[in-house]
Homo-oligomer: A and B are copies of this chain.
């Protein structure tokens, strides 16, 4: 159940029959639709239950076709919203001003997998999980693993700088992007960066485009850096009888010299909600917090030695240790099913807060305080190793207007605490449509103004994913 209070009809740009006919001449048959079903489908993503149907949907299948669409949109002065698999959680892919939804899903070719140089050139429409499988067949590893990796597209990941549990050790999507092919609002095709591991030829537009949420250019392809698959992995679970202790444990892990590949935290309420639908290991019963660690490296012996070191750090807590793939999957399932369990329980509003690691316990306390003050419950879980928690504010049984008021109050209060803790509004979900109102608090006027000028430099007509990011 997601929050439907913001669902509203699009007040967006209509598309004249003549403009549509001109667009149709630029694309092959079956590349354009105004069917109600298609408009409905491309009018939503995974953000709450927001709905903003576009006036039309286009599915170009090549960079030349994307360029033609953007030239058309520039000439017609019509808004274009680039879309991947629409799995985003901040409404970045919603056509909030109508116009054209530009789906990248047909640019779905892995152009070149270079095993020797450990790079892959992929089009934007390749599913992230499929890309990971394709490179894994050659012993290579593309670490960024958003929860939606079986359905999300790599282009969307790049546009949002997506991350996941393994960003703890390996970094977010941006750390793997060496170069981009992208289409500007004008229809000009630009190539940024290269397939080289170092490249300081002019401004790093690659790293500017990563995370720009489809507002600066339409990313059509990327060259990604790969690493070797680790030979061994080990998954550990620790229950803690206090949240403070678990949060402190996160810092202790890193201070011990062990660098986990993933370090995920779940607080008691998340575990309780999960227990309603899943059989959990007995060690989790009654735990106030659960920490899941994945270690990876060259040999199992090395990982077991690291695990022993952590065992000492957390004594007398005994870890759950998962050595084989099946046991590891079982432990990971505890973490990966929490989102669903929370969402199945109640309407919710999610805050994707990130803070310095040492402020994790303070963040959870701030979430509880903000929620309680507004008459709500909060549930925290997420990527503790990066200081990034997904804080769900639960609607419970509140009526619509009370919920809206309480939710907004709690969120405003929580973001204030996050910023006081030195944190940021979003760690990985982006600003998109739903987090814009916090930006004036998070950034100084001079910084925000500079971002607006950058937007202007890329998209002077303001047709590319309008009304996103900026308040």
A: which residues have CB within 8 A of B? 114, 116-119, 160-161, 163, 167, 171-172, 174-175, 184, 188-192, 194-205, 207-208, 210-212, 216, 227-228, 231, 251, 254-255, 257, 259, 298-299, 302, 306, 354-358, 383, 386-388, 422-431, 439, 442-444, 446-451, 453-458, 469
- Contact between chains at A298 and B257 (CB < 8 Å): yes
Partner of A197, one of B188, B196, B228, B386: B386
> Known interface pairs A422-B196, A446-B188, A458-B453. Does A228 touch B257 (Cβ–Cβ under 8 Å)?
yes
A190, A197, A447, A450: which has the most chain B beta carbons within 10 Å? A197
- Contact between chains at B198 and A427 (CB < 8 Å): yes
- Contact between chains at B447 and A458 (CB < 8 Å): no
Known pairs A196-B354, A198-B427, A200-B211. 9 more at Cβ < 8 A? Answer: A171-B175, A190-B446, A196-B427, A199-B427, A202-B447, A203-B212, A203-B454, A205-B447, A207-B208
Partner of A428, one of B116, B198, B231: B198
> Known interface pairs A257-B228, A424-B201. Does A447 touch B191 (Cβ–Cβ under 8 Å)?
yes
Across the interface, name the chain B residue whose C-beta is closest to A456. B457
What are 7 pairs between A and B in contact, CB < 8 Å?
A: A116-B251, A117-B358, A175-B175, A191-B444, A197-B354, A198-B387, A201-B443
Distance of A202 Cα from B452 Cα, bound (Å): 10
Minimum distance in angstroms from A355 CB to a CB of chain B: 7
Minimum distance in angstroms from A113 CB to a CB of chain B: 13
- Contact between chains at A422 and B195 (CB < 8 Å): yes
- Contact between chains at A425 and B201 (CB < 8 Å): yes
Partner of A439, one of B163, B202, B425, B456: B202
Residues of B within 8 A of A458 (CB): 450, 453
Distance of A117 Cα from B356 Cα, bound (Å): 6
Residues of B within 8 A of A117 (CB): 251, 356-358, 387
Partner of A201, one of B197, B298, B439: B439
- Contact between chains at B424 and A194 (CB < 8 Å): yes
Distance of A162 Cα from B251 Cα, bound (Å): 30
Distance of A456 Cα from B457 Cα, bound (Å): 8
Across the interface, name the chain B residue whose C-beta is closest to A429. B200
Residues of B within 8 A of A446 (CB): 184, 188-190
Residues of B within 8 A of A423 (CB): 194, 196
Residues of B within 8 A of A388 (CB): 196-198
Partner of A443, one of B163, B184, B202, B424: B202
Minimum distance in angstroms from A432 CB to a CB of chain B: 10
Minimum distance in angstroms from A174 CB to a CB of chain B: 7
Across the interface, name the chain B residue whose C-beta is closest to A257. B228
Residues of B within 8 A of A202 (CB): 431, 439, 442-443, 447-448, 451, 469
> Known interface pairs A208-B208, A458-B450. Does A201 touch B356 (Cβ–Cβ under 8 Å)?
no
Distance of A350 Cα from B431 Cα, bound (Å): 44
Across the interface, name the chain B residue whose C-beta is closest to A252. B116
- Contact between chains at B203 and A208 (CB < 8 Å): yes
- Contact between chains at B454 and A356 (CB < 8 Å): no
Partner of A457, one of B199, B200, B251, B453: B453
Minimum distance in angstroms from A448 CB to a CB of chain B: 7
Across the interface, name the chain B residue whose C-beta is closest to A438. B201
Distance of A357 Cα from B197 Cα, bound (Å): 9
Distance of A32 Cα from B410 Cα, bound (Å): 52
Partner of A386, one of B198, B231, B469: B198
- Contact between chains at B259 and A355 (CB < 8 Å): no
- Contact between chains at A357 and B116 (CB < 8 Å): yes
Residues of B within 8 A of A299 (CB): 302
Residues of B within 8 A of A196 (CB): 354-356, 386-388, 422-424, 427
- Contact between chains at B427 and A195 (CB < 8 Å): no
Minimum distance in angstroms from A443 CB to a CB of chain B: 6
Closest 10 pairs between A and B when the two form their complex, measured CB to CB: A207-B207, A453-B457, A198-B427, A188-B446, A457-B457, A199-B424, A117-B356, A208-B208, A116-B358, A190-B447
> Known interface pairs A114-B356, A116-B357, A207-B207. Does A200 touch B302 (Cβ–Cβ under 8 Å)?
no
Distance of A448 Cα from B388 Cα, bound (Å): 37
> Known interface pairs A175-B175, A191-B444, A203-B208. Does A163 touch B198 (Cβ–Cβ under 8 Å)?
yes
Minimum distance in angstroms from A45 CB to a CB of chain B: 16
